[in-house]
Structure 1
Amino acid sequence: LGRSKSVCLATVEKILDNDERELIGDSSKAYLLKTVEGKHQDLKYITPEMMDCVLSGKYKDTIERCVIIDCRYPYEYEGGHIKGAINLPLEQDVEAYLLKEPIVPQSPDKRVIIIFHCEFSSERGPRMCRFIRKQDRNSNEYPKLHYPELYVLKGGYKDFFPSFQSQCEPQSYRPMHHEDFKEHLKLFRSKSRTWAGDKSKREMYSRLKNQ
Structure 2
Amino acid sequence: MIGDGSRRYALRTMTGKNCDLKTISHNTMTGVINGSYEEVISCYRIIDCRYPYEYEGGHIKNAENIYTKNGIIEFLEDNCDVAKRQVLIFHCEFSSERGPRLCRFLRSKDRQRNNYPLLTFPEMYILEGGYKQFYQNHKELCEPVDYLPMLHKDHVDDIKRFRSKSKSWTAGEKKRIPFCLYS
Q: Give TM-score, length-normalised by structure 2.
A: 0.90
Distance 1:153 1:98 in 2: 20
Q: How does 1:129-148 map to 2 (within 5 A)?
A: 129-148=103-122
Identify which of 152, 162, 165 aligns with 2:139: 165
Structure 1 counterpart of 2:170: 196
Distance 1:120 1:64 in 2: 27
Query: How far did 1:103 drift?
Result: 5.1
Structure 2 counterpart of 1:98: 76
Structure 2 counterpart of 1:34: 12
Q: How does 1:53-202 map to 2 (within 5 A)?
A: 53-102=31-80, 104-105=82-83, 110-197=84-171, 200=172
Aligned length: 173
Q: Over residues 106-136 of structure 1, what are the superposed CA-to-partner deviations in whole Å (9 max), with x where a residue is unaligned?
A: xxxx510000000000000010111011111
CA contact (8 A) 1:103 1:112 kept: no
Larger RCO (CA under 8 A, 6+ residues apart): 2
Structure 2 counterpart of 1:16: none
CA contact (8 A) 2:2 2:123 kept: yes
Query: How far did 1:190 drift?
Result: 1.7
Relative to total residues, which structure has the larger helix share, 1 or 2? 1
CA contact (8 A) 1:99 1:136 kept: no
Q: Give TM-score, length-normalised by structure 1.
A: 0.79
RMSD: 1.4
Distance 2:21 2:79 in 1: 24
2:42 is paired with a residue of what secondary structure?
A: strand
Distance 1:71 1:101 in 2: 18
Q: Which runs of 5+ in 1 are unaligned?
A: 1-22, 202-211
Q: Alignment identity in percent?
A: 50
Report the residue type matching 1:78 in the other structure: E
Structure 1 counterpart of 2:177: none
Distance 2:110 2:96 in 1: 22
